[in-house]
Each structure stands twice: as structure tokens, then as C-alpha cells.
Structure 1
Amino acid sequence: MSNIRGRFAPTPSGMMHLGNAWAALLAWLQIRKQNGQFVLRMEDIDGPRCRPELAEQALADLRWLGLDWDEGPDVGGPYAPYTQSERIHLYGAAMEKLLQSGQLYPCYCSRAELHAIASAPHGLSAEGPAYPDTCRLLTAEERQERQVHKDPSLRFRTDEERPILFNDGIAGIQHFPPGAGGDFVVRRADGIVSYQLAVVVDDAAMGITDVLRGGDLLDSTPRQLMLYDALGLQAPRFAHIPLLLGEDGKRLAKRHGDTSLAGLKAAGVRSEQIIGWLAYLAGQLERFEPVAASELIHCFDLTRIPTESITIHDTLMKRLFN
């Protein structure tokens, strides 16, 4: 059996849509082509935004597309549980390790103060403006004084001397300057653990070797690589696929029509139409034609996937719907 392990990790805060299907299909094909193990993980760590019924719907939608998984919330596996809300103790242990090594510090900045930073130049485009180290430089006395008025978040102290360099499987060589994006939050003031920390802990614990995900997360990779290094964990290989955009240049969403998988199914669209359409966009088919996901495994080629965002014109959408 191959030691290649990949995953798809949806957040059950909304209905699965074409953008989710795009990432899920390509991540699945990458691993199945290499006879690897494919893991499904539910990233529901932000409890107020996530709903159990949406998690169930996501499983149903993926099965309708013809995708399967070797480990997951419904089938179990050696690294269970596969739902983030049941893995909180693992994130706590990681934060304790980072605290002991001096990598974390409390941040007392209010939302208003952080909003004011928004006018500053962005360090990482998808991650917002770089944090200006306001609380990094506080003395013990100043921290104690602020603690009286506000519960702090916890920020990771980035390395300000070493640049981040990695080879992305689709985007190519990526170079980020030292401290890219500034110090970042790993636990919010309300106690919710950040995506950055949770995804690193989970991917490492589950032995994930290959992560294929949307290009909007490319800028998150430097921060995650810093966490892998600080925790002494092995980082996976990364490949970031281009985003699907509407004609207005914005990410494909409800404003471009009902792009939810459940909605398309209800409208009579067959899953093979969606798979064939996405495979065509990904350069895996020379022309658009209905096809089952399993039929694409033998010919899948990561190098054929475009590197630039893909604009979905209305005429192309109509080819899917008709």
C-alpha cells in the first residue's frame, strides 16, 4: 500500500458548492492516482458558524459526486476522531508546547484597534494586514494591567530573520520574506482555536503527506510552515489550485446563481455532468463531456491544472445546466 495520504476538509458552515467540488475532486484524484489513502475531515472548530446537518449534507454531496474516502467521521479510522470539535485537547497540547518554548504571547488588542490596522500595507494578501507587534513588546507589568480589562488572544511569534521558501505543486517556487504577515493569532480571545493551528496539528497527527487546496490558502502556507517547524512536525507537500471566478471577477458564489451541489441535483443536473465540467476546466479532459470521477483516475495529471484563476462565463455555466 502506498504511504501517500491526502485529505479533503470542508467547513460545515454552508452548503457544498461548485468551488468545494472543484477542490474535493482534484484532491481525491491526486491521491487515488497514487494508490494513496484519502481522508475526510470535518473542520467545525468555529462552533457558532457550523451546523451538524450541513456536515451530514456534505457527506451526501460528496458521495453523490462519486467520491469516497478511506477514513472519516462516518467510517472511522486509526486517527479518529475526524471532526475537529472532538480534537480540542490536541490543540491545547500544541499551544502548551508553543507557550513553553516562548513562541506565543497574549494579545490584548481590541477589535477597534485591529480594525485601525486595516489601513496598513498587507503582509499576506489573503491574511489581512500585518500585525504591528503592539502586544509583543509589552512588559509583564503592562500585560498584567491589560489582563484586568480584557481576555487576550494568543499570537504566534514569527521568525523575523528567516525567509520562507517552498515549492508548490501547481504554483511553483514560492518565496516569502522573514516574518511574512507578522505575528498571527492561534487562539482567539473567546477561546476558539485558529484554523492555522488546528489544520497543522490535524494534518501532522493524521500523517497527511499531500495537501491540495484552493489558491486562496496559498498565503496561509508560510504561517503553517512556521508552526510545523516550531512544533517539530513534518510538513506535507502543498499544491494550490486556481479559484473559480464569476464574470464579475469574484469567487463563484450564490450571486452567480445556485451553485450548491444540492441545488444542482434538485434541478436535474447529473453528477457526471459536474465531474466532466470540472475535469475539463482542470485540463484533464480535452472537451466537456459527462464522466464518472473514477474514470479520471488513470489519466489524472497535476501538471495540466491551470495556474491562473478561471473565469466561468455564463455560456460555460449553461453548458453544465443544459
Structure 2
Amino acid sequence: MTTTQRQKPVFRFAPSPNGPLHLGHALSAFINQDMAKASGGRLLLRMEDIDLTRCTPDFETGIYQDMDWLEIDWEKPARRQSEHFGEYQATLQTLIERGLVYPSFMTRGEVKAEVTAFEANGGSWPRDPDGSPHYPPHDRGLTQAERGERLGSGAKHAWRLDTKRALDELGAKLDWAETGDGETGTIKADPAAWGDVILSRSDAPSSYHLSVVLDDALQGITHVVRGTDLFHATSVHRLLQSLLGLPAPIYHHHRLITDASGRKLSKSEGDTGLAELRAKGLSVAGVRQLVGL
């Protein structure tokens, strides 16, 4: 990277190649491109393909075709997260050695059963901003000997961030600079609202949270432009950035594209993909109009 490149604002569009891109992705790509051009900055493309089961080369090829059709000008080559698992694992190991993460052994079914039983007795189990219950505290309280015994037996596990311990170690309030469609200015981060998030699983060497903050730092991203569905997750990202000594980008969370019922568009729900719109003869100008630009 040259000195001139380093001085320019750096944006990134970071889809997951686990399905066809839809209008919501088009909006995000357009906003990233428009903001990069307006600031004289650079636009990078990242393939967030840590899910090796759902992400495929065909979907990745489809993304390149959609980007070309939308006339999005990005710097090649794209970064593939699947090619950097070693970097994520090395960073995770430093957090393990610092005692800031712990192995968690409960299955989703066991967590659900405990939460259901607790709430059936009138209790109110804490939930994260997405509505998922916090992970129970049992594994966080295991001794090193107990953890070692379970790990040594080959018990299936994930690695979770000990959020309270991490916040206690930092001893400082976290915030971020926001320029998006909702709240703007300095936003107070609240990582505790998420409980102990997963940083690595047996079927995925890195979680979204861990890989995204490392990638943004390694790629020199100065402006993170993404949908408002990730607004609250920024609290977790700011915590990880602070723990790892990484720079904090400026964040811009933009509106979402929704269907008639108000549900955000989703690849998993089979919403109309850009390739289908292209096949029907829609122009790039037409796409921009559909997403309100």
C-alpha cells in the first residue's frame, strides 16, 4: 500500500457468497461507492465466506457478475476470509492466553431448555439486541482444571468472549462515531447487552465478530458502511477493537430495503436476486431507482 493510498478514505463492500445478492445488497454497494467517490476514497470488496458449508464458488462468481453489472468500481483482488483462518486463530489464541475467552460446551438445545424452564417459572432471561438469549454462566465459572479435562476428552465446544472480564480489563467507556440514517454523532457502545458472544466454533474457525474487526484493521478500512441491522453489533466490534489495539473506523449504518410486510430482504427467504432482475432487462438506473437513490 502506497502512502497516497493510505491517506485516502477506505470503504468496503463485504457480502457473504451464500446466495444471490438482492436489492438490499445493491443499496449497500451503491452507498459505499457513492461515499468513496465523494470523498476521493477507495472501495474494496471482501468475501465474508467463513461459513464453508453455505458459501460456494458459484455464489462468489455471481457477486462479481452483479458488481460488474451495477458498474461498481472496486480494487481487485477481493479478500476472502476463508484464506485467512490462520490469522483469526492466532488472534483468538492471544485472547485465550489473556483469559478473556473461555470454552463453552452447552448445545443450542441445552441452552433453549434452560432458558425455557427459567422463564416458565416466572423469570426473565436476558436477551441480546437481536432477541437471542444470553449464554448461561455455567461454563464461564469452570476452573482451569475442569476446562482442561473437558477439552482433553474431545468435548465439542465454542470459544466465547468473557464480556464482563473484558470490560473490567479495559476499565473505560466505549463509543463510536456514527454518520448513518438513524442516530448520529458519538454513540455509546453497550457490549454487555450481547452477553458472551461466540468468537470461534468447531464448524467455523472464526465468528463474524472476530473476523470483521481484524479484516477492517488489516485492510485499513476507515469507513464501515452497512445496514442498520448491524448497528447494535458495533458495540461488540468496538470492544474487540479496544482489546486488540485496533483502530476504530467511522460507522455509517444505512436504511434497509424491506418487502411489503416490512421484513428486510434476505437471501435465505429467497427474495428476488439481482441476476433475475438483470435477466428481466432492468437497467442499473432502474435498480438505483428501486432502492431509492
TM-score, reference length from structure 1: 0.78
Cα 1:194/1:113, change in 2 over 3 Å: same
Tell me the equivalent position of 1:168.
178
Which of 192, 203, 208 pairs up with 2:221? 208
Contact residue 38 and residue 71 of structure 1 kept, 8 A: no
Which of 49, 55, 59 pairs up with 1:50? 55
* Residue ranges of structure 2 left out of the alignment (5+ in a row): 117-123
Q: CA RMSD in A?
A: 2.3
Tell me the equivalent position of 2:203.
190
Cα 1:211/1:108, change in 2 over 3 Å: same
Tell me the equivalent position of 2:255.
242
Matches of 2:74 and 2:210, distance apart in 1:
24
Tell me the equivalent position of 1:33.
38
Secondary structure of the 1:244 match is coil
Tell me the equivalent position of 2:136.
132
* Residue ranges of structure 1 left out of the alignment (5+ in a row): 74-81, 283-322
Cα displacement string for residues 120-170 of structure 1 (whole angstroms, at most 9, x for unaligned residues): 545432272222322111112322343326222111121455553323211
Secondary structure of the 2:88 match is helix
Asked if residue 90 in structure 1 is aligned to residue 105 in structure 2, the reply is: no
Contact residue 95 and residue 101 of structure 2 kept, 8 A: yes
Asked if residue 218 in structure 1 is aligned to residue 223 in structure 2, the reply is: no
Query: Aligned letter for 1:129?
Result: P
Tell me the equivalent position of 1:103.
100
Contact residue 196 and residue 223 of structure 1 kept, 8 A: yes
TM-score, reference length from structure 2: 0.85
Shift of 1:108: 1.1
Asked if residue 11 in structure 1 is aligned to residue 16 in structure 2, the reply is: yes
Query: Aligned letter for 1:165?
Result: D
How many equivalent pairs are there? 272
Once structures 1 and 2 are overlaid, which stretch shifts more, 27-36 or 178-187?
178-187
Once structures 1 and 2 are overlaid, which stretch shifts more, 159-168 or 176-185?
159-168
Q: Highest relative contact order (Cα 8 Å, sep 6+), 1 or 2?
A: 2
Which of 71, 75, 90 pairs up with 1:70? 75
Contact residue 38 and residue 70 of structure 1 kept, 8 A: yes
Once structures 1 and 2 are overlaid, which stretch shifts more, 102-111 or 7-16?
102-111
Cα 1:254/1:156, change in 2 over 3 Å: closer
Cα displacement string for residues 186-221 of structure 1 (whole angstroms, at most 9, x for unaligned residues): 001334310110111111001001000011111211
Contact residue 127 and residue 220 of structure 1 kept, 8 A: no
Report sequence identity in percent.
34
